[in-house]
Amino acid sequence: MNHPKDETYTQAHTDFSQDLSYGDYLMLDQVLSAQRTLTPAHDEMLFIVIHQVQELWMKLIVHELSSAMGLLKQGIVDPALKMLTRVCRAQEQMAASWEVLKTMTPSDYLQFRASFGRASGFQSHQYRLIEFLFGNKQPFMMRPHQHRPEHHRLLEQALQAPSLYDISLHLVAARGLEIPQAVLQRDFSQPYQPHERVRAAWLEVYRHPEQHWDLYYLAEKLVDVEDNFRRWRFNHLTTVERIIGHKQGTGGTAGVPYLKRALDIVLFPELWQVRTDL
Which residue positions form the known binding site for substrate? 47-51, 109, 113, 250
Provide the H-helix boundaries in the chain: 22-25, 28-32, 44-73, 78-101, 106-110, 125-134, 149-160, 164-174, 181-184, 196-207, 213-244, 256-262, 269-277
Which residue, 51 or 195, has its beta carbon nearer to ligand HEM?
51
The secondary structure of 75-112 as a DSSP string is T--HHHHHHHHHHHHHHHHHHHHHHHHTTS-HHHHHTT
Binders in 1-60 for ligand HEM, by CB under 6 A: 50-51, 54
Instruction: Tell me if 232 contacts ligand HEM by CB under 6 A.
Output: no
Nearest approach, Cβ of residue 98 and ligand HEM (Å): 8
Cα distance between residue 133 and residue 112, in whole Å: 34
The Cα-based distances of 258 to 40, 217, 233, 246, 264 in angstroms read: 31, 33, 11, 10, 11
For residue 5, what is the DSSP state?
T
Please tell me whether residue 109 binds ligand HEM under the rule CB under 6 A.
yes
Which of 106/149 has CB closer to ligand HEM?
106
Q: Rg of the chain over CA atoms, in angstroms?
A: 22
Binding residues for heme: 236
Residue 2 CB, shortest distance to ligand HEM, in Å, is 38
Neighbours of 264 (CB within 10 A): 7
Report the nearest approach of ligand HEM to the CB of residue 202 (Å).
26
- Cα 73 to chain centroid distance, Å, stands at 20
For the CB of residue 148, give the shortest distance to ligand HEM in the complex, in Å: 16
Per rule CB under 6 A, count of chain residues that contact ligand HEM: 24
Give the residue, chosen from 37, 108, 161, 249, that forms a contact with ligand HEM under the rule CB under 6 A: 249
Name the DSSP class of 247: P
Residue of 67, 238, 253, 273 interacting with ligand HEM (CB under 6 A): 253
Binds ligand HEM by CB under 6 A, chosen from 137, 151, 212, 236: 236
Binding mask 111-150 for ligand HEM (x = CB under 6 A): ---------xxx-x--x-----------------------
What is the rounded distance in angstroms from the CA atom of residue 192 to the CA atom of residue 167? 12
Among 250, 267, 268, 270, binds ligand HEM (CB under 6 A): 250
For the CB of residue 161, give the shortest distance to ligand HEM in the complex, in Å. 20
Position among 212, 215, 255, 274 found at the interface with ligand HEM (CB under 6 A): 255
184 binds ligand HEM per the rule CB under 6 A: no
Q: What CA–CA distance (Å, rounded) separates 31 from 264?
A: 36
